[in-house]
Amino acid sequence: MSGEGSVGVLLVCMGNICRSPMAEGVLRHRLAGLERPLPVRVDSAGTHGYHRNAAPDPRAQAAMRRRGIEIADLRARKVVHEDLQRFDLILAMDEDNLAFLQAMAGDSMADRLRLFMDFAPQARSRIVPDPYYGGNSGFERVLDLIEEANTGLLEDLARRAGRPGPPAR
């Protein structure tokens, strides 16, 4: 569990170079812009170690920069068992990554594992699709979904911090 009253949020995709670092960047940006800070620790990881220590995909970085967010300093890493203890919310970008995390965690930690898009119940998609093999427009669509889910996630984090309603910006 997170220490010092903070909530730990881990965002997870397969390689940790597209979706999860984009989601981490958006969440960090939105948290930094809050009028009243929330006690939240944010990180991202991948279920596979294909890109260990790599910077986010250049297309992900470009899409983020177009929205005023820099993620070039993030580095890919693989999710490890200790993450299951350190984070209160472990949010997968799709069902395959959620299943991987569920198998890794077992039943005892199932309440910490969710789909990221669960925080956007009105969205047409229940997953954040992997834009890696597509064009630049895929990264923009992913960012739209990430921003939509982050709105609901911030509301949830505000409730956890004892602040009902959407957090002030």
Tens-digit pLDDT profile for residues 115-163:
999 999 999 999 999 999 988 899 999 999 999 999 999 999 999 888 7
Domain enclosing residue 60, as ranges: 7-160
pLDDT tens digits, 1-54: 444 579 999 999 999 999 999 999 999 999 999 999 999 999 999 999 999 999
CATH code assigned at 127: 3.40.50.2300
Q: Which of 57, 83, 94, 130 is catalytic?
A: 130
- Given 18, 19, 28, 43, the catalytic residue: 19
In a domain, 151, yes or no: yes
Task: Measure Cα distances from 46 to 11, 36, 54, 161 in Å.
Answer: 8, 31, 12, 27
Residue 38 located in a structural domain = yes
Report if residue 29 sits inside a domain.
yes
CA–CA distance, 13 with 157 (Å, rounded to integer) = 21
163 is catalytic: no
112 a catalytic residue: no
The total of structural domains in the chain comes to 1
Asked if 73 is an active-site residue, the reply is no
Q: pTM higher than 0.85, yes or no?
A: yes
Two tokens, residue 137: 């427009």
What pLDDT sits at residue 1?
Answer: 47
